Amino acid sequence: MPLDTTTKDGDFPIPAGVFAETVTSVERFTDRLFKFRITRPASFRFRSGEFVMIGLPNAEKPVFRAYSIASPSWDEELEFYSIKVPNGPLTKHLQRIKVGDTVLMRKKPTGTLVNDALLPGKRLWMFSTGTGIAPFASLIRDPETYQKFDEVILTHTCREVAELRYGQELVAHTKNDPLVGEFAQSLRHYCTVTREDYPLQGRITDLMASGKVFDDLGLPPITPETDRGMICGSMDMLRDTKTALEGFGLVEGANNRPDTFVVERAFVD
């Protein structure tokens, strides 16, 4: 039997051209949100903020979905942050993974939420909702982000307070990290909740329109002279946040055409 069709675990062969990696840890945050870490293939290179297609070896033709890599490019393992999508063909199985299981990963990472796609600026705004925080979990742990921008602001909006925990723990760990902690002292984390009581409430789009987010942070409103943006969330959130940034005069960029903001889609099912 050729090597690339050898069954590593379970009944189905590993498809050719994908990495088969081992789960090293799983942590659950709510009944729907969990993070997991897998071994990193020695030959796998990516830029912080990129995503990759992942699947499980549970079918002849496994379902693959795009997942932002939540760990920085220097990390020895790869981290992912996932939500259980109702009836999602991948996440209905993925939500049950445990240490030692195999996760499949296609070999080519891609994405536009990378520092290279932005022109230099003073202040980087990272706008996220729900699991859209994942690519920023990577970028806030990359020293390059702080070398390129004097100030970094991560906004995270969720429906419920419990859904903020992954980001809150991440930011706390990052500030204490021996490698990036010193750089990350300039990182600001602005969390809001929309469907429960919380000190800061509301959608980030509304908080930008009213100016409240700028007042809360003691910052001037966004301008193309100093500010850069990255956006990750649901399709509706991407559209509305993009409109808000364009209202401030920012222009969408891409890898081959860096500009003042970039947009990503991070759907898992």
Q: Which parts of this chain interact with ligand A2P (CB under 6 A)?
A: 129-130, 157-159, 194-195, 203-205, 233-234, 236-237, 240
In terms of CB distance, is 14 or 90 closer to ligand A2P? 90
- Residue 187 Cβ, how far from ligand A2P at the closest point, in Å? 21
Residues 6+ apart with CB under 8 A from 107: 17, 18, 19, 44
Q: Are the C-beta atoms of residues 188 and 127 closer than 8 Å to each other? A: no
- Residue 157 Cβ, how far from ligand A2P at the closest point, in Å? 5
- The DSSP string of 104-151 is EEES--B-S-SGGGB---SEEEEEEEGGGGHHHHHHTT-HHHHHH-SE
In terms of CB distance, is 73 or 128 closer to ligand A2P? 128
- Residue 228 Cβ, how far from ligand A2P at the closest point, in Å? 19
- Residue 204 Cβ, how far from ligand A2P at the closest point, in Å? 6
Q: Are the C-beta atoms of residues 123 and 151 closer than 8 Å to each other? A: yes
DSSP assignment, residue 256?
T
Q: Are the C-beta atoms of residues 90 and 96 closer than 8 Å to each other? A: no
- Residue 126 Cβ, how far from ligand A2P at the closest point, in Å? 14
In terms of CB distance, is 82 or 129 closer to ligand A2P? 129
In terms of CB distance, is 182 or 236 closer to ligand A2P? 236
In terms of CB distance, is 102 or 192 closer to ligand A2P? 192
